[in-house]
Amino acid sequence: MLALYLRDLRMGVRAGGGALTGVLFFLAVIVTIPFGVGPDLNLLARIGPAILWIGALLASLLGLDRLFQADREDGSLDLLVLNADRHMLALTVFVKCLAHWTASVLPLVIAAPLLGLFMNMSPLGIGAAALTLLVGTPAIVFIGAAGAAVTVALPRGGLLISVLVLPLVIPVLIFGVTAAYGAVNDPDPFTPPFMILCALTMFLAVIGPLAAAVALRSGTD
């Protein structure tokens, strides 16, 4: 399993892995917002956490279509399914998700504090947004894996994944943004939505890979 994690991580980091694409997209979204919204610093600070979250959400959906498609095209997916007796397929999917998150989504979380400066967010707000992103983005990848497994056989499944997955990640977005707001706006609580966000991630860490494994098993042809 460690071998699979390391292999996928290497693939993501090396040329053609697309790890940088997400960060560049994220950067493009966040940098464009102040130009569109105007130089109202208070407004920017207020919408900052939400914009960071939406940007990170869309950016992390970008590379999801390659999660299984690359393995399917070169035949690796057959062998991963064939080895299901040794390594439970859901666990294989889980490890692939972790590797994808480390290579493609973790850079977004690391870039988020820097991009928060563009939105005139307070240091506390930036910290809270980064923390909620760190905890919440794995959930996006886990649901995304199910979407990627369903569309694995489609040549241009990327957009379809986004359409399939977006409604399912709305709760993650809501609780992530609520927690990020709760940290800076005084009467709003931080801990309850943050805990629900953690719970969502853990819940989806089980459901997502299981669903993806079922889809992959019936999708081999």
Partner 1 sequence: MRLIAENLSGERGGEAVFDGIGFVLADGEALVVTGPNGSGKSTLLRVIAGLLPHSHGRIAFEGDSEDFPTVASACHYLGHQNAMKAALTVQENLQFWRDFSGNGRLGISDALEEVGLGGLGHLPFGYLSTGQKRRAAIAKLLISHRPVWLLDEPTSGLDKASDARFAALMQDHCAAGGIIIAATHLPLGLEGVKTLEMGRVHAL
Q: Tell me which residues touch partner 1 (CB under 8 A).
A: 1-4, 6-7, 10-11, 14-17, 73-76, 78-79, 81-87, 220-221
Closer by beta carbon to partner 1, 3 or else 38: 3
Residue 217 CB, nearest approach to partner 1 (Å) = 9
Residue 88 CB, nearest approach to partner 1 (Å) = 12
Residue 77 CA: distances (Å) to CA of 50, 86, 141, 189, 220 = 37, 15, 19, 45, 8
Query: Do 146 and 208 form a contact (C-beta atoms < 8 A)?
Result: yes
Closer by beta carbon to partner 1, 8 or else 200: 8
Tell me, rounded to whole angstroms, the distance of Cα 34 from its chain centroid. Answer: 24
Closer by beta carbon to partner 1, 185 or else 220: 220
How far is Cα 192 from Cα 141, in angstroms, rounded to an integer? Answer: 23
Residue 157 CB, nearest approach to partner 1 (Å) = 19
Closer by beta carbon to partner 1, 82 or else 117: 82
Closer by beta carbon to partner 1, 40 or else 78: 78
Residue 139 CA: distances (Å) to CA of 2, 15, 142, 170, 172 = 21, 26, 5, 11, 7
Closer by beta carbon to partner 1, 127 or else 219: 219
Contacts of 163 (CB under 8 A, 6+ apart): none
Residue 85 has what DSSP assignment?
Answer: G
Residue 81 CB, nearest approach to partner 1 (Å) = 6
Residue 91 CB, nearest approach to partner 1 (Å) = 12
| Residue with token string 């989504």 | 105
How far is Cα 217 from Cα 221, in angstroms, rounded to an integer? Answer: 9
